[in-house]
Structure 1
Amino acid sequence: MTSPQADEAKTVVSLLSRSAIRLDATAQGWEDAIRQAGALLEAEGVATGDYTQAMVDSVHTNGPYIVLAPGFAFAHSRPSEAVKRTGLSWLRLAEPVEFGHKRNDPVELVVAMAAADTTEHQDAMAQLAKVVSSKQTMERLRTAPDAEAVLDILREVTAPKKAPATPAATPAPTPTTSQRSTSGPPLTKDHIMTVCGNGVGTSLFLKNTLEGVLGKWGWGPYITVEATDTVSAKGKAKECDLIMTSGEIGKTLGDLGVPMVIIENFTSEQEIDAALREVYDI
């Protein structure tokens, strides 16, 4: 029988314990920062040392694609036997470190995630993406004096908000070939893939932001977005119109025969909006 607790939606706050938050730590470089964030997961019984090593290996293999936004890195790897349960850790650095990302370095906040499967953490990732995309919230978290203050801020900004009543919006028309870019292959499948090394973390950040833009355009009901990994993307590329990913992952993927858009800041609706406007003729 499934426990009531297992049925509860996973949130950032439910996955992040006070003892998994370390503030003003000192790291000797990006690898040391990831290992410290992984050690917090290990101490909580979330994952083993093998998972920490997998997070480090992922960056060695794929480059600094986990640096999703200015000053922020999201360390993670694939679900495996090294993961005991889904959880997060939070490592704020006293002095930022370089990960090798051309635009988003240096990094001062490393959030590490261990996921027990590919779905349990998705709601929490959507919340975290909104947290990181808010400059005001990130500034508050940057100066939070202790772990409890971090959790208080996260509770406040991720709490469900009652939307004000608004008149029903007029649905946008289904995108047609006349609205699609003529600079590449015709876009006909109404399906976009966001891709990262493991398919469970950074691609979800990008998916959430992209869906936010499509929602504002009124195109949400007409275009599906799938978050996936590099291996799956290579096999399914012909099923989509467009791939969005990081520069590092884009090099790994190579030419898959469909348009590929490189995104630097995975939490920036402005950057993704501009990129989509170059692909779709609008």
Structure 2
Amino acid sequence: MLNNILEEELIQLNVKADNWEDAIRKGTLPLVVKNKVTKEYVNKIIEIAKSIGPYIVITKHVALPHAPAEFGANETAIGITTLDRPVNFGNEANDPVKYLFCLSATDNNSHLEALAELVKLLENEDFFKLLDTSNSPKEILSYISTI
């Protein structure tokens, strides 16, 4: 399922970001360009994070930027962005964030299988090593398709 909602064009490696908001905007940019989400969706992620805190930082060094579907999720998809330099999101336990998995879900259920697969990947040290050393989105996609 995960490789059904992930495309090579949605993977960005070693992106430069000045802060957490810049990281979210740059991390979600491929989703906007491919019309998976709207700019309003991206703005809502940031707005919610500003109002309730860094809810999107889900584990050490990992953020899962997302917002409710009604704010512009056009298609279920996920993008992967690695940052060249980690940035703080304001989550003391899990900062700084180096990996963003930007999620667009059009409903509350269709993406759950993909998220379960993502959780397995996040428990795999080899996956993070690959993210840190690869310069090829195709290589990342290929690795994910083997899970």
TM-score, normalised to structure 1's length?
Answer: 0.51
- 1:114-160 C-alpha deviation (Å, 9 max, x unpaired): 1110011010000001101222322222212210011011112x2xx
Partner Cα separation in structure 2 for residue 142 and residue 80 of structure 1: 34
Q: Which amino acid aligns with 1:92?
A: T
Question: In terms of mean alpha carbon deviation, does 96-105 or 139-148 score higher?
Answer: 139-148
The Cα shift of 1:62 comes to: 1.7
Q: Partner residue of 1:102?
A: 92
Match of 2:8 in 1: 18
Q: How does 1:54-133 map to 2 (within 5 A)?
A: 54-80=44-70, 82-133=72-123
d(CA) in 2 for partners of 1:69, 1:108: 11
Give the Å deviation of 1:81: 5.3
Mapped to 1, the partners of 2:86 and 2:22 lie a distance apart of: 12
1:42 partnered with 2:24: no
Note the 1:217-236 alignment, pairs <5 A.
none
SS of 1:103's partner is: coil
Alignment of 1:252-271 (within 5 A): none
Would the aligned equivalents of 1:38 and 1:51 in 2 still touch at CA under 8 Å?
no
Please tell me the residue identity of whatever aligns with 1:110. L
Secondary structure of 2:35's aligned partner: coil
Name which structure has the greater RCO, CA cutoff 8 Å, separation 6+: 2
Identity of aligned residues (%): 27
Separation in 2, partners of 1:33, 1:150: 20
Q: In 2, Cα distance between the equivalents of 1:88 and 1:145?
A: 19
- The answer on whether the counterparts of 2:10 and 2:80 sit within 8 Å (CA) in structure 1 is yes
* Structure 2 Cα separation of the partners of residues 64 and 83 of structure 1: 20
Q: Give SS of 2:70's match.
A: coil
Runs of 4+ in 1 over 4 A off after TM superposition: none
Residue 140 of structure 1 is matched in structure 2 by 130
2:17 paired residue number:
27
Unaligned 5+ runs, structure 1 = 1-10, 159-282
Partner SS, residue 83 of structure 2: strand
* Larger-Rg structure: 1
Deviations 1:254-280 (A, max 9, x none): xxxxxxxxxxxxxxxxxxxxxxxxxxx
Corresponding residue to 1:153 among 124, 143, 146: 143
- Partner-residue secondary structure (3-state), 1:145: coil
**What secondary structure, in the 3-state scheme, does the structure 1 residue paired with 2:78 have?**
strand
Equivalent residue for 1:53?
Answer: 43
**Which stretches in structure 2 are left out of the alignment for 5+ residues?**
none
Give the partner amino acid of 1:118: N
Could you say what the CA RMSD is over the residues aligned between the two structures, in angstroms? 1.1
